[in-house]
A and B are shown apart, each in its own frame.
Chain A
Amino acid sequence: GQNIDQPTEMTATEGAIVQINCTYQTSGFNGLFWYQQHAGEAPTFLSYNVLDGLEEKGRFSSFLSRSKGYSYLLLKELQMKDSASYLCAPKGSGNTPLVFGKGTRLSVIA
């Protein structure tokens, strides 16, 4: 089974940097996904880490430590449109489904 832990809510100021942490326990680990979900919409893919380290993609970066069962999503130069839920999803082996944590609701304020 899987056990995924993320903060429930976070608030940050426009233009700032925010880090959303995720710890997980899973069998057959094969990488970790981050998705963004705006209210009433389907999730959209942000990043996929399979090796330890930091992956940078524009304003968003994602970090993974497999030995610690830990990942974080870093959002820079926050914009109001970044207000959304951010979902951490470790992937199991094979074609297993993604199982999501409860997600972190990020509110960006002026």
Chain B
Amino acid sequence: GAVVSQHPSWVICKSGTSVKIECRSLDFQATTMFWYRQFPKQSLMLMATSNEGSKATYEQGVEKDKFLINHASLTLSTLTVTSAHPEDSSFYICSARATGLNTEAFFGQGTRLTVV
């Protein structure tokens, strides 16, 4: 099946620094990718929809200036957590669907972010 690769799997950073997370569709093109965040024992919460070649669409309550999303190609979307704080520590997961197909969403492996 289709594969979505997310990198890094885990990262520890200092408060105030920025962290970039990459999401790649390895064997299909995805005009749209989705970013989720999950706190321990909580549900997956949709943060934003990443659109290739245009601005991302953010869910209510998600700060677009803090969570920068870039979808520069049909196979790569990046999420940058800027000026990270300990409360940003969470599990971040991306997903993508093949363009034009009514198919399942494939998920990346997730990134465990810890801000110290």
Contacts and interface: CB of A to CB of B under 8 A. Distances in A.
A98 B106 CA distance: 11
Contact of B46 (A43, A48, A97, A102): A97
Nearest to B59: A97
B43 A102 contact: yes
A46 B91 CA distance: 21
A95 interface: yes
Describe B's contact surface by its main secondary structure.
loop
B107 interface: yes
Contacts, number: 47
Contacts of B102: 30-31
Given A31-B102, A44-B107, A98-B34, A103 B95 contact: no
Interface string B33-56: 010000001111010010000000
Interface in A25-75: 30-31, 33, 37, 40-45, 48
A87 B44 contact: yes
B104 interface: yes
Interface stretch (B70-78, B82-90, B108-116): B108-116
B48 to A, nearest CB: 9
A95 B52 CA distance: 13
Contacts of A102: 42-43
A41 B110 contact: yes
B21 interface: no
Contact of A98 (B105, B108, B109, B110): B105
Contacts of B31: 95
Given A42-B93, A95-B97, A100 B43 contact: yes
Most chain A CB neighbours (cut-off 10 Å) among B93, B106, B107, B109: B107
Given A100-B43, A101-B43, 5 more contacts: A30-B102, A33-B105, A43-B107, A87-B43, A97-B105
